[in-house]
Structure formats: C-alpha cells, structure tokens
Amino acid sequence: MSSIESIETLLVDLPTIRPHKLSMTTMACQTLVLVRMRHSDGIEGLGEGTTIGGLSYGPESPESIKRNIDSYLAPLLIGQPSANLNALRARLQRHARGNAIAKSALETALLDAQGKRLGLSVAELLGGARQEHLPVLWTLASGDTHKDIDEAFQRLDDRRHCDFKLKIGANAVADDVRHVAAIKAALGERASVRVDVNQAWDEASAVRGIAALQDAGIELIEQPVAACHHAALIRLASRFQVPMLADEAVQDAHDGFALAAGGFSGAYALKIAKAAGPRGALELAHVARAAGIGLYGGTMLEGTIGTAAALHAWATLDDLVWGSEMFGPLLLTDDIVAEPLYYHDFGVDLPRGPGLGVRLDEDKLAYYRRKH
C-alpha cells in the first residue's frame, strides 16, 4: 500500500501581462504556492494554492499558506496511506481549522496522484466529465475605459472571450457606473458585461449603483456588499431584476445553505480555494442546485495547475448557467508547465491524461521560484 512520503511547497512569482486593478489592490505579479507531494510508489501529485494580493483579499497569504502546510498540515499527511482521500480530507478538517486555500492545494495534489495511480483524470475521479470545452470570460481590469474597450474587442476578434467582467469599487459609484456603461455601450450586443464590486459598497451605495448598472444593460452584479452582510445581499437580490452573484459571502456548502434558506436568489461563485478543494466546491454546487440557484465557475487567478483542478471539477457539472472565469494563466506572462491549457472558441479545453493532465517545466519552475 502506497503512503505519502514527502510534501514540498514552493513560492512561484509570475508577472502579469498588465496591472490588474481590484477594489482592494492592484496586482502586477501573482504568487503561486506549488505543492509537490511524493508517494512511496514513486508517484508525484501536484497542487496549487493561490490568493490575491497578499493579505488584501483574505486571511491567507502565499507565505502563510506555505508556512502552515510545512509546519502543520503536511505532518498530518506524511506517512498516511495515499489512496483514501476521504480519510485524509477528514484528518485535515479534524486537526486544522480554516486554511481553505492550503487544504485545496493538498487535496488537488492527492487527486492528481490518485488519478495518475489509477490512470484516470481528476474529472473521472469526481464522477466523470459532462463537458470537455468550458466557456471562459475575461476580466477587464486595467481601470482605463478606452484600454478596456480595445482589450475587449481584441478578445472578441481573436474568438478568445465573448463575455466580460469589470472590476469596480475602487472609485466613486458614479465614476464606476460611467466607466462600465461606456464599455457596455461600445460592445453592444456582441458581448455580455458583468461587474464585480469586490465588497466595496455599503447597501445605500449599492442601491444607487445597481439601479444605474441595470439600466445600462449589465447582466450580473458580483458581491456588491461585504461578505458578512448576508441580509443586505438578500435584500438587493430581491429588489432588482439583475441577478446578484454571491462570491465572498458563500465559501462552502454551509454558507450556501444558510444564504439560500435566508431567501437569496441569484447565483453562487464556486471556487476550489474557498471550499478547501474541488470536492468542497462541488458540495456547494449540489446545495445550489437543490435551491434553484445558478452556478458560476470562479477563479482566484490561479496558474495552470490550480486552474486545471477547477476545470476538472466544473466539467462534472452540466449547469454552469453563468459560465466560468478560468482565465488565470492568460493573465500571466509565462507559465511553469510543459504544455499550456488550450484556450479557443470563447473557452478552454479540459486537459487530457491521468490526474490533472499537467506536467511541470522544471527549467521554468527553477527560474520563477522564490529563492529566499
């Protein structure tokens, strides 16, 4: 019986193709936490834990993810049998609170190794892929209206993306609305436009902003108020025709149930990083489906390894009503894998092969890994 022999974590710093402006930070580099999990049968599983902007987005930073895996989570797994993923997942949950992103990286590595061991893809381990090509939108986040319009038309002409999300909330409500409305007017019926406020508004500001965005033809409003303000989010969802997308407010199946029970209608953003792994994200998807709530495949701007893990999970679903945003690798100037994901025809192909279907480029990894 194979057992887990070692778990190595590496910080990998990859520049972005342009500054990526959110309400709480502007990114020019993305840091990935890469997990290499080696087993006694010679198999290596790969995982990735990724957050946004250090500690500006959430309670886990790249450095804390690495430190907590090395000091607390890896010792819980090393020496344990490799194949019983349920037991290993339960062991992590029992002995370590929180740390969802770190746990997601470890679960991904376990799934990758088990898939390689059995000759099955991660999607097959999760029940089987129901789609092999998943839609992917693009986030326009330069902060410059004309640059965003040019970028959108270029993506349309290249048949790379036909749905766009705008990151807003860092500016005054009226300024953000003007920015979004101008982009929607320029794109017309060629593309749908959504916005992500990243929790930046209070409820009164949200009422003003959403009313104007709805009039401008925006199709979805993501997390307009703070994650803890469930009641406000429910009121906004009831007040407007344009749907609300809950992201930070719904981390896992427990949050999904509570929000639905409170009367929320709209959509949930699934993220493997929020839900401590692909299976936790699918548990949330099942709650949403039972409650009649739409689904959206969200990203933490992961690199190829984390993106592939999410794609294997999303591929098992047939009802991603709002598509996905698994464009993380396209935001980076380079990659650490031998073969990049294949983006075309407004989406991305599910990677083929056992496990995640992804192999490392050791030279690129050596170049981009943090040395100190």
Roughly how many angstroms between the first and final C-alpha of the chain, as a whole number? Answer: 36
Residues 189 and 259 in one domain: yes
DSSP state of 73: I
Instruction: Determine the longest span between alpha carbons in the chain, in angstroms.
Output: 62
Cβ(368)–Cβ(12) below 8 Å: yes
Residue 355 lies in a domain: no
| H-run or E-run covering 90 | helix 85-95
Residue 25 has pLDDT above 80, yes or no: no
- What lies within 8 Å, CB to CB, of 10 at 6+ separation is 33, 34, 36, 66, 365, 369, 370
What pLDDT is stored for residue 272 in this prediction?
98
Per-residue pLDDT tens for 163-203? 999 999 989 999 999 999 999 999 999 999 999 999 999 99
What is the C-alpha to C-alpha distance for residues 40 and 314, in angstroms, rounded to an integer? 30
What is the C-alpha to C-alpha distance for residues 301 and 18, in angstroms, rounded to an integer? 14
SS3 for 165? strand
325 is catalytic: yes
Residues 193 and 113 in one domain: no
Among the listed residues 107, 151, 222, 325, the single catalytic one is 325
What is the C-alpha to C-alpha distance for residues 284 and 278, in angstroms, rounded to an integer? 10
Average pLDDT over residues 307-330: 96
Average pLDDT over residues 207-220: 98
The number of domains in the chain is: 2
Average pLDDT over residues 297-304: 97
Residues 181 and 75 in one domain: no
Sign of the torsion formed by the C-alpha atoms of 18, 49, 159 and 322: negative
User: Could you tell me which residues are beta bridge partners of residue 11?
Assistant: 33
Residue 56 has pLDDT above 90, yes or no: no
Residues 115 and 137 in one domain: no
Per-residue pLDDT tens for 282-298? 999 999 999 999 999 99
What pLDDT is stored for residue 338 in this prediction?
97
pTM here?
A: 0.95
Residues 215 and 340 in one domain: yes
Residues 115 and 129 in one domain: no
Residue 356 lies in a domain: no
Give the up-direction half-sphere exposure of residue 187: CA atoms within 13 A in the CB hemisphere: 32
Per-residue pLDDT tens for 104-149? 999 999 999 999 999 999 999 999 999 999 999 999 988 899 999 9
What is the C-alpha to C-alpha distance for residues 349 and 22, in angstroms, rounded to an integer? 28
User: Could you tell me which residues are beta bridge partners of residue 165?
Assistant: 139, 194
Domain that holds residue 243: 125-349
Residues 80 and 132 in one domain: no
Better-predicted residue by pLDDT, 55 or 251: 251
339 is catalytic: no
What pLDDT is stored for residue 147 in this prediction?
94
Q: What token pair was written down for 341?
A: 């994901």
Average pLDDT over residues 14-28: 77
Reported confidence tier of residue 55, pLDDT bands at 50, 70, 90: confident
Among the listed residues 103, 167, 271, 274, the single catalytic one is 167
Question: Which residue reads 């990935």 in tokens?
Answer: 32
What pLDDT is stored for residue 24 in this prediction?
63
What is the CATH classification number for the domain harbouring 298?
A: 3.20.20.120
Residues 337 and 199 in one domain: yes
Residue 252 has pLDDT above 70, yes or no: yes
Residues 331 and 190 in one domain: yes
